[in-house]
């Protein structure tokens, strides 16, 4: 499945009388890694939530795709009660099937779940409680869940926050593989060095679009200073 294209035109977002985003115009090309950067509170997560249909924006967001629109989403952190007796396998089952996860995974989905957990390097953890995983392991489980059904758009909201270098490196390699398979990846990222390494396009959001283009050109020192002025 090829990735989808996003065209954002004249997008504005006002919440409780506060202007969060103003006149956002942006294109995310199909099959590219497009990173959003900018200061905290600049509106990056709000823009992703507009794309996900969770915010009452004005303007337009159009998506072009070949067959079906399937969006996967990985948040910065999973907000849940850590003492809940839910295993990795149970958590995956909640995505895959309607029946209660305590009844086990149906044979229809078990092989696919196992394959995804193997690809993300957490197959051996599938009987572990979700609350007992490390931050990096939990983020990989969230990515596995986001990849079923296989999306043509993957949205990432700073999923590497608080993860050690080994976990970061593993996650980045998976993202590169998904991009090479044609998936569109729209990613909030705070590490500008990694953005230069990974992204095809970078856009800086600070209520407005400050700059957008090739990260090797846009992330030069003079422009980086504008992010934090």
pLDDT number for residue 161: 81
Domains of the chain: 5-70+150-227 (3.40.50.300), 81-135+143-148 (no CATH)
Instruction: Give the percent of the chain with pLDDT over 90.
Output: 68
pLDDT number for residue 84: 83
pTM: 0.91
User: What is the Cα–Cα distance from 10 to 145, expressed in whole angstroms?
Assistant: 32
- Collapse the DSSP code of 103 into the 3-class scheme (helix H, G, I; strand E, B; otherwise coil) and give the result: helix
DSSP string over 166-198: HHHHHHHHHHHHHHHTT-EEEEE---HHHHHHH
pLDDT number for residue 51: 97
* Residue-averaged pLDDT of the chain: 90
pLDDT number for residue 98: 56
The series of mean pLDDT values per 10 residues for the chain, 229 residues long, is 92 97 98 96 96 97 92 87 84 71 69 92 94 90 92 94 85 94 96 94 96 93 73
Residues 6+ apart with CB under 8 A from 216: 196
Q: In this structure, are residues 6 and 43 in contact, taking their beta carbons and an 8 Å threshold?
A: no
User: Tokens 């078990």 appear where?
Assistant: 110
């Amino acid at each position: 499945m090829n990735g989808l294209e996003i065209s954002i035109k004249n997008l504005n977002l006002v919440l409780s009388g506060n202007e969060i985003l103003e006149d956002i115009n942006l294109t995310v090309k199909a099959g590219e890694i497009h990173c959003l950067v900018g200061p905290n509170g600049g509106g990056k997560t709000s823009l992703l939530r507009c794309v996900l249909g969770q915010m009452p924006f004005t303007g337009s967001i159009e998506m072009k795709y070949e067959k079906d629109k399937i969006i996967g989403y990985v948040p910065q952190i999973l907000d849940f009660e850590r003492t809940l007796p839910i295993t990795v396998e149970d958590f995956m089952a909640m995505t895959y099937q309607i029946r209660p996860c305590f009844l086990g995974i149906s044979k229809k989905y078990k092989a696919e779940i196992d394959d995804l957990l193997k690809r993300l390097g957490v197959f051996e953890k599938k009987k572990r409680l979700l609350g007992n995983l490390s931050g990096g392991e939990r983020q990989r489980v969230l990515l596995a869940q986001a990849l079923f059904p296989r999306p043509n758009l993957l949205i990432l909201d700073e999923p590497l926050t608080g993860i050690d270098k080994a976990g970061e490196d593993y996650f980045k390699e998976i993202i590169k593989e998904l991009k090479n398979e044609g998936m569109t990846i729209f990613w909030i990222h705070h590490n500008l060095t990694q953005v230069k390494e990974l992204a095809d396009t970078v856009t800086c959001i600070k209520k407005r679009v400050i700059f957008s283009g090739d990260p090797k050109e846009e992330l030069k020192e003079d422009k980086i200073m504008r992010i934090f002025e």
